[in-house]
């Protein structure tokens, strides 16, 4: 009938003030993780060597290469978990933005413990290796801990989720970060006795997070 209001698809301005699309957050997070990986690989440089001794110099790089591969796997696991999270998120609010920045903060510090571990493996000094191993385990535990508040927050804010996403899935996920934290704390204690055994145990948390991402 004449004079009736026209129906439009305009977004709810009240909601748009508080919520924004998640795509920009994903793009920014992907860029940060890509930069971290780039910084890691830049540490792999052509070793100094005398003419005819290149092969020996390359074989002596096993420590930095091992440290790089472990950290590359860790960044990859963080990205896989982050991607798995945001495929279920449609919008973000200020709190979720800060929680996501916590994930990125824990990710950006990876190059430092990686460089320390590489240097300790190169030198072979057990004291330095013990310190580097404990630091890596502690930072790994931090990288899991920053996920702890995210799952209950998303459970309690279904308006942020993609349509059809059951908020109860995040209630079940709330336990998962504690498992690698326990493994990383155990690895740090093992490092006091055997840094090499610690590195082996430390990778178990990576395998768990990769398998369940």
Rounded to two decimals, the pTM is 0.80
Averaged over 75-83, what is the pLDDT? 91
Q: What is the pLDDT of residue 13?
A: 39
> pLDDT confidence of 16, banded at 50, 70, 90?
very low
Q: Compute the distance between CA of residue 195 and CA of residue 56 in angstroms, rounded to an integer.
A: 25
Higher pLDDT, 11 or 145: 145
Residue 21 host element (H or E): strand 20-21
Q: pLDDT tens-digit profile of 21-40?
A: 788 899 999 999 999 999 99
> pLDDT confidence of 49, banded at 50, 70, 90?
low
Tokens 């308006």 belong to: 159
pLDDT(8) > 50: no
Q: What is the pLDDT of residue 184?
A: 86
% pLDDT > 90, the chain:
30
Q: What is the pLDDT of residue 165?
A: 82
pLDDT(2) > 70: no
């Amino acid at each position: 009938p004449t004079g009736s209001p026209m129906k439009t698809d305009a977004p709810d301005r009240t909601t748009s003030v508080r919520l924004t699309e998640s795509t920009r957050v994903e793009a920014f997070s992907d860029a940060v993780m890509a930069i971290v990986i780039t910084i890691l690989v830049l540490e792999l440089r052509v070793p100094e060597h005398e003419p005819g001794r290149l092969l020996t110099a390359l074989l002596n790089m096993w420590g930095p290469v091992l440290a790089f591969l472990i950290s590359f796997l860790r960044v990859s696991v963080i990205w896989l978990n982050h991607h798995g999270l945001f495929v279920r998120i449609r919008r973000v609010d200020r709190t979720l933005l800060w929680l996501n920045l916590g994930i990125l903060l824990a990710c950006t510090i990876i190059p430092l413990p990686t460089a320390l571990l590489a240097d300790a493996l190169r030198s072979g000094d057990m004291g330095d290796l013990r310190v580097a191993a404990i630091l890596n385990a502690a930072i790994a535990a931090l990288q899991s801990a920053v996920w702890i508040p995210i799952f209950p927050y998303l459970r309690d804010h279904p308006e942020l989720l993609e349509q059809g996403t059951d908020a109860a899935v995040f209630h079940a996920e709330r336990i998962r970060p504690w498992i690698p934290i326990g493994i990383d704390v155990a690895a740090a204690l093992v490092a006091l006795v055997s840094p090499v055994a610690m590195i082996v145990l430390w990778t178990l948390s990576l395998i768990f997070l990769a398998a369940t991402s």
